A and B are shown apart, each in its own frame.
Chain A
């Protein structure tokens, strides 16, 4: 009963006109930046983080929710119109979405995607509303050892689900952990890796790192790739999905919602896996699977619903455990920390207004997304037709000036440029920035909990295995770490004996990796 009361109070906060306005602004700006080719949700949120600085925490969080949903949908628009997925989770949307666009039905694809995203997101928020307090209650007993294990598993899963080389992703994660140690040590007061610089004494801020790696890194990379750009279609018609379209896709939307919600709770690339699983499920169920890839509306509805549902339900581990499940969530985590909100099991009980404010702002963000996306499709198409040569300096300058406004510090701007260069190089050399940022965000939490655990256990690492939850999590950690090794050794051994089977399987795996980039 009490929680119901809190839910209602949360709605009262969210529905204040100022907050609604900020949410609306968030959705529109999120879509505006998210629609720029090459900038996925993580980059969009990173670039727009400074915008949320000046406003009150609750309002800022509501605006962030708007930016989050807007950025997600922005990626869908580029998938359909330009076959440029903003992130891995809308890769499969490209197949049928772009096929529909070629048939002149881009509007249908975008409309169905918007409706599907809305339904999937809403289902997931309802699930979150009921599930999150339960998980948080369970996690209240977590002590330092559990958090240590949880953070380790979280980082490892994100790194292993990454596309491309897993070991490179782990290297990036480890470097992220190392960067997190820069600054004054909280336990001993010793200055670590500060090179006697005052600017580094308090550690490296999360925002310049994220803005550099995700934002400026992408922009620099696009400077080089732009000559490869594809041109946007002149005009998009039929934005409103017909009743027939909606009827055809309703099953896919329902299945995608459930699939996305459950897969999204799991750490790692929840949204990516669920969009692929939804596509596979739809194709399997279809009477005529050959339509897929040639403009089957279910092929857009299923994955788009699932990835939005998953993106929403991945807020559950963030809000209840304080562990972001993927790079986008790491950004939301950093953004919440800046607002003075520490996501974790205590948030529901100690700060119910904020907690339910965050949750309910997602309902509103979703509704506004639906309202804004369909009528604004024309505007976004026009933006896509603005030449990249003109858009590039605009996004770069917004990032630079935005970075300055965070702390009024030129050093922060310099950090953004440095991490922008690092992000560009990482991309060129096949390292993913996601695991680095996630590990960087979790670094101090991981270190302080590890050290507290060691103090608790009097320096003995076996102590972790005396507690059921941390023991289980560490076993999971070892399994996730060792399994790929065992597999590759077995594959190599199997290769000579099963000349036919092994290469095919390897190719499947390789295809999957390449395609999830």
Chain B
């Protein structure tokens, strides 16, 4: 507690807090003003909070099914219920508090890159036990470098092969781990 108040005082008195924010904002305007991502907005806040609230409700329902016991003899579900109720209450509070939005980041057209990245990662997970890590890793690396990163075909293929070679040398050769490998 001491720190929180102390921090307030220090920062308000000596006003260095404004310096970082101000300076950063000032420098940003000339370099990449329109690049700063806009906040996610009220709809995103509502959606996020309803999602977490739903998780809480589902948790509460399952917890009740587990059996609550009594406070003197707590059952398996008592603590999960308490935590789930906390999730729901806090989420609903945030619905109100965040109704004007303000934090988070809007999805942009670049968000597709993350989605594609995620898909390739899932592909790697699916293929790993079947054909080992080398070919899926190579494919993932090429996709990330060429399509998500805008490298040329030449450098994407070259560096990907190099990366997979090094990974093979480290994880299979040097560390001797059991990661599934084809070769």
Contact = CB atoms under 8 A, between A and B. Distances in A.
B87 A175 contact: yes
A514 interface: yes
Interface in A158-192: 160-161, 164-165, 167-168, 170-171, 174-175, 177-178, 181, 185, 187-188, 190, 192
A190 B66 contact: yes
B144 A393 contact: yes
Contacts of A350: none
A506 B78 CA distance: 40
Interface stretch (A16-24, A119-127, A367-375, A457-465): A457-465
B8 to A, nearest CB: 8
A277 interface: yes
Interface string B60-101: 001100110011111111111001101100110110011000
Nearest to A292: B19
Interface in A472-517: 476, 479-480, 505, 508-509, 511-512, 514-515
B169 interface: no
A514 B21 contact: yes
Contacts of B7: 273, 276-277
A398 B177 CA distance: 13
Given A165-B103, A168-B98, A178 B87 contact: yes
Contact of B94 (A160, A165, A389, A408): A165
Interface in B93-149: 93-94, 97-98, 102-105, 107-108, 110-111, 113-114, 117-118, 121-122, 124-125, 128-129, 133, 137, 140-141, 144-145, 148-149
Interface in A312-345: none
Q: Which of B74, B78, B122 neighbours the largest number of chain A CB atoms within 10 Å of its CB?
A: B74
A401 B179 contact: yes
A420 interface: yes
Which among B22, B24, B180 has the greatest number of chain A C-beta atoms within 10 A? B24
A95 B87 contact: no
A269 to B, nearest CB: 9
B2 interface: yes
Nearest to A188: B76
**Chain B interface size, under 10 / 10 to 19 / 20 to 34 / 35 or more:** 35 or more
A177 B97 contact: no
B5 to A, nearest CB: 9
Given A190-B76, A283-B14, A405 B121 contact: no
B148 A94 contact: no
B167 A192 contact: no
Is chain B's interface secondary structure helix, strand, loop, or mixed overall? helix
A35 interface: no
A55 to B, nearest CB: 10
Contacts of B35: 228
A95 B4 CA distance: 23
B48 to A, nearest CB: 4
Interface in A247-295: 263, 266, 268, 270, 273, 276-277, 279-281, 283-284, 292-293
B111 A224 contact: yes
B19 A95 contact: yes
Contacts, number: 263
A461 B16 contact: no
A473 B49 CA distance: 30
B141 A397 contact: yes
A455 interface: yes
Contacts of B30: none
B140 A393 contact: yes
**Chain A: interface secondary structure?**
helix
Given A429-B40, A512-B11, A515-B21, A389 B74 contact: no
Contacts of B140: 393, 396-397
A420 B121 CA distance: 10
B6 A277 contact: yes
A400 B124 contact: yes
A164 B94 CA distance: 12
B125 A459 contact: no
A430 B19 CA distance: 24
Interface in B152-183: 155, 159-160, 163-164, 167, 171, 175, 177-180
A396 B117 CA distance: 10
A223 B67 contact: no
Nearest to B74: A451
A392 B179 contact: no
A11 interface: no
Nearest to B4: A161
B114 to A, nearest CB: 5
A245 interface: no
**Max count, chain B CB within 10 A of own CB: residue among A54, A227, A512:** A512
Interface of A: 54, 83, 91-92, 94-95, 160-161, 164-165, 167-168, 170-171, 174-175, 177-178, 181, 185, 187-188, 190, 192-193, 216, 219-221, 223-228, 230, 263, 266, 268, 270, 273, 276-277, 279-281, 283-284, 292-293, 387-390, 392-394, 396-398, 400-401, 404-405, 408, 410, 413-414, 417, 420-421, 424, 427-431, 447, 450-451, 454-455, 458-461, 476, 479-480, 505, 508-509, 511-512, 514-515
Interface of B: 1-4, 6-8, 10-12, 14-24, 27, 31-32, 35, 37, 39-40, 44-45, 48-49, 52, 55-56, 59, 62-63, 66-67, 70-80, 83-84, 86-87, 90-91, 93-94, 97-98, 102-105, 107-108, 110-111, 113-114, 117-118, 121-122, 124-125, 128-129, 133, 137, 140-141, 144-145, 148-151, 155, 159-160, 163-164, 167, 171, 175, 177-180
6 contacts: A281-B14, A389-B150, A390-B151, A397-B163, A400-B121, A430-B103
